[in-house]
Structure 1
């Protein structure tokens, strides 16, 4: 059975520059069974008070960023959608108590297409996105993942795409200056190490209260929408799931680019 995944997508330009995370994502698909579809909970697909599932047959590629090389804006990820599966997922979410609907005319944001263009460059697997709610907490998104827990048993790969740390005001100076290997502050490693230890221990209670318990939580996540996809992926592995770290690196000093796999308990 497929695991669920959390990947840190970091800066959009990892699609065109060489970083350790780029190299990791390029080999990721070879380590997994081929899914029949991919469902991405992306930090860049936000909806308040509802959950949307993308339902277009041929989603467009959204370039929802600015200030990067022209090459990045020319890239397209032409994977198909799966309207039938989108309807099934929305119905499952509604049955679990969520206000859910299928979204039309909503393409792939960079939280979805940047990691996928590296991991699945042939774009021959249907892709759907599920929204996160920037007004809701980790417990809510864990519950959202629990409502998706049947998907891995149906050969659907659930991916949470965000960033293990995400302080953009401290990232931008290094990014603009091209300092990809800038010095890593202790507050980044302290937070990332705490999260990894709790994930590998399966300590869901502590993880749901990360904002109060984790060191430097607010500095690493001034807003926490980029961490919420991790909880969707964790929840989708079902209760008792355990994490294994697939990748650890840093980009521009302050972006922790960890990736984790979550496997359902036997």
Structure 2
């Protein structure tokens, strides 16, 4: 079984499903690159900012459908489907791995994929034929606790052929996005605070400065402005933990929408650098393009 990198994807607005901008083509290329390098995953374990609970919970139903967990967007979005198989057997393995680390993970026999899941997966794996297992995380837990949850699941991508994905947003302050009373153009110039945060994040990642990253709310520039609440960043730490601390996280996509909504993607683990290089060689402007 080939080893997969774990990933963090910024999913952005649900409209990315209709107006791909830079990130939709990147997701498509990411899916192709992963398949060429690693084959098809046995299953996808995904942690989305929009599926949260008081305790970690697996949605282990046998089938999933897209959930339209938003309002006020183009009604065409509600005609888009992503009917993927579930992964009940994998849920039992995840529970056992977490229990070995002293973490209780619950399981429910129900399905459903929020837009932070089905929008990127629809681009990466449009056939909707890979089993998906959503893991609802606890947004009140610290980055360190999220990282520990990921560490407990490290063997999934290392030896079991499971693709672990965290889905959120590298920067996420909707108050800034709508500060002018309405959403700015998708290609609005980046706010300086957003640029400073995003570049700090990449620099600390490449340096493997885990103490700074885990304490980002105190150490990163404009951290609270970029994340008034950090539920959209916490899945980054679960995905990072699933690959361990040895290898530097690699930014594999750099993009921005609406002036401050970061669309960056990261890969983790020993396969991350090779994936970053493959994406850059295939499509530099879309895969590693700077804003």
Range into which the TM-score falls when normalised by the shorter chain: over 0.9
Instruction: Tell me how far apart the structure 2 counterparts of residues 100 and 229 of structure 1 sit (CA, whole Å).
Output: 16
Matching residue of 2:245? 239
**Structure 1 residue 7 corresponds to structure 2 residue 9:** yes
Aligned match of 1:258: 264
Question: Where does 1:84-163 land on structure 2 (aligned, <5 Å)?
Answer: 84-152=89-157, 153-163=159-169
Which of 18, 21, 26 in structure 1 is aligned with 2:20?
A: 18
The runs of at least 4 aligned residues of structure 1 exceeding 6 Å deviation read none
Q: C-alpha root-mean-square deviation of aligned residues, in Å?
A: 1.7
* 2:163 alignment partner, SS class: strand
Relative to structure 1, the CA distance from residue 123 to residue 175 in structure 2 (aligned partners, 3 Å threshold; closer, same or farther) is: farther
The match for 1:219 is 225
What's 2:87 paired with?
82
Name the SS of the counterpart of 1:199 in structure 2.
helix
State the shift of 1:55 in Å: 0.4
For the 8 Å contact 2:178–2:184, the answer to whether it is kept is: no
Closer, same or farther in 2 for the Cα pair 1:214/1:21, shift >3 Å? same
Q: Which has the higher strand share?
A: 1
Could you report, residue by residue, the CA deviation over 1:127-168 in whole angstroms, capped at 9, with x for unpaired residues?
111122111110010101101101112110000100000001
Is the partner of 2:128 in helix, strand or coil?
A: coil
Equivalent in 170, 182, 207 of residue 213 of structure 2 = 207
Q: CA deviation at 1:18?
A: 2.7
Post-superposition Cα deviations, 1:110-143, rounded to whole Å, max 9, x if no partner, equal 1111110111111111011112211111001010
Does the aligned pair in 1 maintain the 2:62–2:109 contact within 8 Å? Answer: no
Q: 1:162 to 1:177 in 2, by over 3 A?
A: closer
Structure 1 residue matching 2:155: 3-state secondary structure: coil
Give secondary structure in 2 for the equivalent of 1:78: coil
SS of 1:150's equivalent in the other structure is helix
Structure-2 separation of matches of 1:79 and 1:116: 10
Aligned to 1:182: 188
- Residues in 1 aligned to 2:179 and 2:28: alpha-carbon distance in whole angstroms: 27
Q: Is the 8 A contact 1:38 1:156 kept in 2?
A: yes
Superposed displacement of residue 239, structure 1: 2.7
Q: How do 1:19-38 and structure 2 match up within 5 A?
A: 19-32=21-34, 33=38, 34-38=40-44
Matched, 1:51 2:48: no
